[in-house]
């Protein structure tokens, strides 16, 4: 630690020193927040960014100082689930881990003399740009970690259920066809995470209760692709969607209605995609079983305002979990990273789990105070 502090002191005297920094959650390891029954929260593993890990090791070999800067709260970290523990289990060697305790990273990056930073959060990019405008000696380049990744020949699509029991379909800008929300997987991603990410990017909606229906080969523009189909939920009614949804340029419109009304889109003037048809066939009349019928919808409606406020204050915060993780009784830890398996030991097989595409989840009870969670 003393050597690290001395190194940081020297680098602070020269802001052009070769210091490379990385965010952790959703930059190195991916995950997303699932709400299981309207009350309980589940953090589901979503894959790892192998290209970022390669880059970290490459910078280390070149002699650069490599640091992880996370907005997690250090006081809420626990040994078995801390960033240091996970880095060690993933065999990633860095020169230090710094916490900003839910605060933007810009000032800490300036103090550390970072010249290159990787972060998945657009808000962090904006904050760093604003800070560099105020400090002309803050010469830093900020990059998105997913820019290093390519799409693979697999797709995640599905239907989204609202609190009033309706379903959301979207209209493609390129063909005007009605489609199921979703898109391509990126390298290293789990299908469920890709569905969660694509829906967020395309519509601005953060879905919960993501559940796999089936995986089928389909043909789009004469190309065969494996498509993973899902059903998920949002804490909004159809009427609430107008103020909550924000369509990306790839989509021109959305539709919200019951299953029969969504099915009618297939025979409309615009027509519907094979993926929309497959989603409807796979779901069939089983929607009640996926969300425990009215019980689930009542809980989502009752907690609508609380959930909405929590999502609005949470931002793009994701937490990592992995095989062996257990239910937590200490609710306050939900404001930091979720706990790891007792005694550690989950991450050595992390890459194996990604390759096997096993579902890796952790469940914790939702905190009553709905405090914001930072990466």
| Average pLDDT over all residues of the chain | 79
Q: pLDDT tens-digit profile of 237-271?
A: 999 999 899 999 999 999 999 999 999 999 999 99
CA distance 282 to 259: 12
Please give the residue that has the higher pLDDT: either 37 or 104: 104
Strand partners, 208: 233
| Mean pLDDT on 319-326 | 34
Please state, in angstroms and as integers, the Cα–Cα distance from residue 138 to each residue in 10, 115, 134, following that order: 16, 8, 9
Look at residue 302 in the predicted model and tell me its pLDDT: 52
Between the CA of residue 347 and those of 52, 84, 190, what are the distances in Å? 17, 12, 16
**Strands, DSSP E only, in the chain?**
19-22, 29-35, 40-48, 65-70, 96-99, 114-118, 141-143, 151-161, 167-172, 178-179, 182-186, 208-220, 223-233, 251-257, 361-365
Contact 315, 183 (CB under 8 A): no
Q: Confidence band (pLDDT; 50, 70, 90) for 81? A: confident
Q: What is the pLDDT of residue 33?
A: 84
Residues 28-50: what's their mean pLDDT?
A: 78
Query: Do residues 172 and 271 lie in contact, with contact meaning Cβ atoms separated by under 8 Å?
Result: no
Q: At 354, list the tokens.
A: 């990604």
User: Tokens for 232?
Assistant: 């998920």
Write the pLDDT tens digit of every residue in 270-289. Answer: 999 999 999 999 998 666 66
The pLDDT of residue 63: 93
CA separation for the pair 208, 1 (Å, rounded): 41
- Report the alpha-carbon distance of residue 51 to residue 87 in Å, rounded: 15
Model confidence, pTM: 0.76
Domains of the chain (ranges plus CATH)? 17-147+322-343 (3.40.50), 150-310 (3.90.79.10)
Residue 210 pLDDT greater than 50, yes or no: yes
Q: Say whether pLDDT at 317 is over 50.
A: no
Residue 268, exposed/middle/buried by CB under 10 A (0-12, 13-18, 19+)? exposed
- Rounded CA-CA distance 114/20 in Å is 6
- The per-residue pLDDT for range 112-122, each reduced to its tens digit, is 999 999 999 99
């Amino acid at each position: 630690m003393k050597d690290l502090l001395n190194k940081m002191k020297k680098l602070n005297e020269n802001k052009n020193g070769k210091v490379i920094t990385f965010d952790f959650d959703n930059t190195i390891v991916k995950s997303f927040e699932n709400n299981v029954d309207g009350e309980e929260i589940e953090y589901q593993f979503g894959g790892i960014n192998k290209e970022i890990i390669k880059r970290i090791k490459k910078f280390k070999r070149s002699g650069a100082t490599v640091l992880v800067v996370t907005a997690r709260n250090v006081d809420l970290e626990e040994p078995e689930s801390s960033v240091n523990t996970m880095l060690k289990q993933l065999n990633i060697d860095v020169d230090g881990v710094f916490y900003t305790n839910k605060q933007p990273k810009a000032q800490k990056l300036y103090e550390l003399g970072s010249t290159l930073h990787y972060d998945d959060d657009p808000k962090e990019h904006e904050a760093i740009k604003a800070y560099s405008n105020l400090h002309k000696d803050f010469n830093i380049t900020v990059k998105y970690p997913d820019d290093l990744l390519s799409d693979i020949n697999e797709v995640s699509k599905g239907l989204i259920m609202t609190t009033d029991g309706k379903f959301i379909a979207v209209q493609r800008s390129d063909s005007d066809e009605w489609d199921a929300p979703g898109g391509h997987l990126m390298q290293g991603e789990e299908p469920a995470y890709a569905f969660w990410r694509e829906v967020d990017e395309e519509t601005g909606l953060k879905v919960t209760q993501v559940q796999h229906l089936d995986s089928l080969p389909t043909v789009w523009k004469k190309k065969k692709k494996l498509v993973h189909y899902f059903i998920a939920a949002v804490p909004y009614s159809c009427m609430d969607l107008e103020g909550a949804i924000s369509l990306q340029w790839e989509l021109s419109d959305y539709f919200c209605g019951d299953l029969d009304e969504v099915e009618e889109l297939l025979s409309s003037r615009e027509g519907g995609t094979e993926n929309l048809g497959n989603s409807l066939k796979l779901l069939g009349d089983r929607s009640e079983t996926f969300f425990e019928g009215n019980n689930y919808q009542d809980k989502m409606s009752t907690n609508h305002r609380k959930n909405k406020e929590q999502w609005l204050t949470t931002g793009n915060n994701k937490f990592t979990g992995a095989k062996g993780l257990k239910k937590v009784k200490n609710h306050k830890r939900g404001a930091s990273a979720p706990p790891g398996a007792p005694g550690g030991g989950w991450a050595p097989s992390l890459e194996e789990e990604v390759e096997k595409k096993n579902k890796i989840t952790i469940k914790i009870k939702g905190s009553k105070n709905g405090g914001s969670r930072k990466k």
